[in-house]
Chain A
């Protein structure tokens, strides 16, 4: 049976709701161990970075060899700008402008 995009979104939302709601019903007065808390946060960071990598550098099962260098440069620039300005938006705009310029030049 084929699952539609709407059904997938519904299932993801349902699971997100369960994860948010269950502690309210069953964990009142409990404390989540700090180590577990850190592990879950690190999993999120790992996923986000993996997704950044796959989104920018992969197309299907192949590395986008022609676009990858300019996107890597733009990503490094965005990270640097965000770090210096302490603003994710400024970093994103700087990176997006740079990748656009590089794509027009090369």
Chain B
């Protein structure tokens, strides 16, 4: 569980920010907590918050949430080989707590252990699916609980803000995600995609308030990715 401490520290401000923003958007306590528990994906929750609160089309909200959550596909796929031999119902239960952060820490640990096993070929020790699952759950479940508690805390804390703070409340979640992206920024494709999406979303949303920003985001990301794919072989 010690390995999960950095994730808890990262989850506290983001879950509180989410709780505050969701309360500000008019979601009920039950809806906010259910979303954190059942969807359990900060970026997806952020992406659907506005459209959901404004009563936009259900299909649009669901598509936005689905596309945001597609990134769990490669994460879950990457973890799967380390959990070999574990019963399926346990895997189903465990997979719910896969998040970007709770994926990285166990994945790095499992890779390190695999490398050590490969180097120490005299060892009779084999990869332990259940041991890996226990490590993953130690990180994943505790992070999940921190996320839920932070959400509830943020929602309740938002009642403490007096009138006149709407402008700051509106800024909290977008400001936090902008900061997260900047801190993670590397290479040239990511800044290009971020800036391009930021700018293209406005004309996109003016043309079609429901779908425009979704379409421009997919287009800009695909163009940036295509350029990178094209440049990658050239740089080798």
Listed in ascending order, the chain A residues whose CB lies under 8 Å from chain B are 3, 5-13, 15-17, 19-25, 27-32, 35-58, 60-61, 63, 67, 71, 74-75, 78-79, 81-83, 86-92, 95-97, 99-100, 103
Provide the residues of chain B in CB contact with A92, threshold 8 Å.
13, 17, 171-172, 175-176, 178-179
Instruction: Give the contacting residue for A57; candidates B91, B182, B202, B217; CB below 8 A.
Output: B202
**Chain B minimum-CB-distance residue to A33:** B74
Provide the residues of chain A in CB contact with B98, threshold 8 Å.
20
Secondary structure of the B side of the interface?
Answer: helix
A57 to B44, CA, bound (A): 20
| Smallest CB separation, A26 vs chain B (Å) | 9
Q: For the complex, is B64 an interface residue (Cβ under 8 Å from A)? A: yes
A32 to B178, CA, bound (A): 28
| Smallest CB separation, B167 vs chain A (Å) | 4
- Tell whether, in the assembled complex, residue B165 and residue A47 are in contact, meaning their CB atoms are under 8 Å apart: no
| Smallest CB separation, A95 vs chain B (Å) | 4
| Smallest CB separation, B97 vs chain A (Å) | 9
The stretch of B33-41, B106-114, B118-126, B144-152 that contacts the partner chain: B33-41
- Tell whether, in the assembled complex, residue B80 and residue A28 are in contact, meaning their CB atoms are under 8 Å apart: yes
For B64-103 the 0/1 string (1 means CB < 8 A from A) is 1111111111111111110110001001101110100000
**Chain B minimum-CB-distance residue to A40:** B71
Q: For the complex, is B31 an interface residue (Cβ under 8 Å from A)? A: yes
A44 to B217, CA, bound (A): 9
Provide the residues of chain A in CB contact with B41, threshold 8 Å.
16
- Tell whether, in the assembled complex, residue A12 and residue B48 are in contact, meaning their CB atoms are under 8 Å apart: yes
- Tell whether, in the assembled complex, residue B175 and residue A95 are in contact, meaning their CB atoms are under 8 Å apart: yes
Provide the residues of chain A in CB contact with B6, threshold 8 Å.
none
- Tell whether, in the assembled complex, residue B76 and residue A5 are in contact, meaning their CB atoms are under 8 Å apart: no
A79 to B48, CA, bound (A): 22
Q: A16-B65, A17-B95, A86-B183 are in contact. List 13 more A-B contacts (CB 8 A).
A: A15-B62, A19-B70, A19-B76, A20-B69, A30-B77, A46-B196, A49-B193, A54-B50, A55-B170, A63-B206, A74-B171, A97-B168, A100-B165
Q: For the complex, is B141 an interface residue (Cβ under 8 Å from A)? A: no
A-B contact count (CB 8 A): 298
Provide the residues of chain B in CB contact with A67, threshold 8 Å.
167
Provide the residues of chain A in CB contact with B48, threshold 8 Å.
8, 12
A17 to B146, CA, bound (A): 19
Listed in ascending order, the chain B residues whose CB lies under 8 Å from chain A are 13-14, 17, 27, 30-31, 34-35, 38-41, 43-44, 46-48, 50, 52, 54, 58, 61-62, 64-81, 83-84, 88, 91-92, 94-96, 98, 165, 167-168, 170-183, 185, 189-190, 193-202, 204-206, 209, 213-214, 216-218, 220-222, 224-225, 228-229
**Chain A minimum-CB-distance residue to B78:** A32
Assuming the contacts A16-B41, A23-B80, A82-B179, asked whether A41 and B71 have C-beta atoms less than 8 A apart, the reply is yes
Provide the residues of chain A in CB contact with B69, threshold 8 Å.
12, 15-16, 19-20
Instruction: Give the contacting residue for A28; candidates B84, B189, B196, B220; CB below 8 A.
Output: B84
Instruction: Give the contacting residue for A27; candidates B77, B94, B177, B217; CB below 8 A.
Output: B77
Assuming the contacts A6-B31, A55-B50, A61-B209, asked whether A24 and B92 have C-beta atoms less than 8 A apart, the reply is yes
